[in-house]
Amino acid sequence: MKKFALLFSTILFFAFASNAQPIEEGESQVNVGIGLSTYGLPFYGGIEFGVAENISVGGEFSYRKWGKYSVYSPSIITIAGIGNYHFNELFDVPPEYDIYAGLSLGYSIWSDNDRYSYSWFRGSGVYFTGQVGARYFVSDNFAINVEFGGGTYSGGKLGVTFKI
C-alpha cells in the first residue's frame, strides 16, 4: 500500500502543471487520506475555510482500529478543530505549493473490549498539538498533501485536498 501511494503521488507530482493558489479568504477545501501511526491505520477527513489572509480554520474527523490480537483491539475516534497559517506569501513560495503550520485541539474516544488493563496507555480525552504540512496542487482544485504531527498518537498524514 505504501509503495502504491508513493508511486501514485510521484506520478501526479510530475504529470501536471498548475497555477493554483493555496486557500484564500472565503474559499473552502476538503482533505481526506490516511494517517501514519504505530497505533493502527487512521483514516481522516476534514474541511478548512479561509477566514483571513493566510489563515484557515476547520474541523477534522479520524477513525482507526488497532490491534492484531483478538484479546485487545481498540478503536479510536478523534474529532478536532484545526487552525493553520499558510506561509506562501511570507516566504515567496511558488503558487502550486502550499506550506503551512498550525494547531489542533481535539477529543479522542477510545473503545475496546477491556480484557486487559492498559490504562497507562489508552483513554479518551482532550489533546492539544501542532502540525506542519505542505500541499502540491496538480490542478486548480486538486492537491496532494503531507502533514507531520497533529492528532492523537499520530506521526503524520498523507492525503489529497479538493477545493470546493
The mean per-residue pLDDT over the stretch 111-117 comes to: 62
Burial of 151: CB neighbours in 10 Å, binned 0-12, 13-18, 19+: buried
Read off the pTM: 0.79
CA distances from 68 to 18, 39, 50, 164 (A): 42, 11, 40, 38
Report the SS3 class of residue 4: helix
80, 103 contact by CB (below 8 A): no
65: Cβ–Cβ under 8 A, 6 or more apart, which residues?
A: 40, 73, 74, 75, 76
Task: Identify the pLDDT of residue 124.
Answer: 80
CATH number reported for the structural domain that contains residue 26 in this entry: 2.40.160.20
> In the numeric block, which cell numbers belong to residue 51?
477566514
pLDDT at 117 over 70: no
Q: 63-96, pLDDT tens digit by residue?
A: 988 766 556 677 888 999 999 999 999 999 999 9
The mean per-residue pLDDT over the stretch 131-141 comes to: 94
Alpha-carbon span 54 to 132, nearest angstrom: 14
* Domains held by the chain: number: 1
Domain region containing 112:
2-163
Closest CA to 153 of 95, 110, 92, 113: 110
Q: 23-63, pLDDT tens digit by residue?
A: 888 999 999 999 887 777 889 999 999 999 999 999 999 99
Q: How confident is the model at residue 7 (pLDDT cuts 50, 70, 90)?
A: very low
Q: How confident is the model at residue 149 (pLDDT cuts 50, 70, 90)?
A: confident
pLDDT at 14 over 50: no
CA distances from 48 to 3, 8, 74, 95, 126 (A): 28, 24, 29, 18, 21
Q: How confident is the model at residue 12 (pLDDT cuts 50, 70, 90)?
A: very low
pLDDT at 9 over 80: no
